[in-house]
Structure formats: structure tokens, C-alpha cells
Amino acid sequence: MEVQIRFLLSRDDELHRRGYYVVAQALKDTGAEIILGECQTPREIAKTALDEDVNIIGYRIMQGAPKVLVPLLIERMQENKIEDIPIVLGGIIPKRDIPFLKEYGVKEIFHPHTPVAHIQQNIMKIASDYRN
């Protein structure tokens, strides 16, 4: 029996919801269990990831500074001993920040207008690799 992927999807603001829900539904369509964290701080994301025993974290960043939020998230994950859970980002991520975020451990970054099939495929592979 295949183990179901548990995907935590969180976001940094109360606005720009459409893509957040489109991604949630697209991943649900692949058979993943989606935990909607809604608008959460890095501390809340790490706690939810621990409590929900997720396989992957998706963080949609539109308003915040990813070079500040991602290190905070990873710090909180380290405090909770869950730093091995892969993180993917979506939203408005400045191109100049991508090398820093990748070096920091972010597995994938999805921008607006990324094809949904590409998001599904990559997230399922990353989560599957993490489980194995």
C-alpha cells in the first residue's frame, strides 16, 4: 500500500488566495492529503508541520521577504528537530533571491503561471524522495 503524502500549505498574507487554493486542489487531485495552514508565521508553520507529521511544506510568499522568512522557518524547524522536511516556495520570489534560497535548502520555487502539472509532478517527486 502506498503511503499518502501529507502536504502542509501555508502562506504569508491574507490576500492573493486564488493560486493557493488552485495548488491545494491540484495536489489533492494527485491523492496527497493537504493540510491548509492558511496565513502562518514561520514558528506556526514549524509547529503545524511537527503536529501534522507532514512530508513536505509549501510556503506561498507574496508580501514578505523570502530571504528573511525562509531562514526563520528553517531555524524553527531545527528547534523542533524537523529540519529534514523539504520546503518548496511559491509566489512572488525575486530572481535575485533564488540562489540564496536554494543554498539554504529550498527544494523548488514555483512562480505565478507555473503550469499546475509541473507543480504536481515536482512536489510529488520531492515528497516521495523525502519518504524514501
In the prediction, which pLDDT does 132 show?
54
CA distance 82 to 76: 9
Residue carrying the nine cell digits 529540519: 83
CATH superfamily entry for domain 6-127? Cobalamin-binding domain (3.40.50.280)
In the prediction, which pLDDT does 1 show?
37
Q: What is the pLDDT along the chain (132 residues), one digit of tens a residue?
A: 355 899 999 999 888 788 889 999 999 999 999 999 999 999 999 999 999 999 999 999 987 789 999 999 999 999 999 999 999 999 989 999 999 999 999 999 999 899 999 999 999 999 888 765
pTM across the whole model:
0.93
Domain positions in the chain are 6-127
Backbone angles phi, psi at 71, to 5 degrees: -60, -35
In the prediction, which pLDDT does 131 show?
67
- 3-class secondary structure per residue, 5-20: CEEEEEECCCCCCHHH
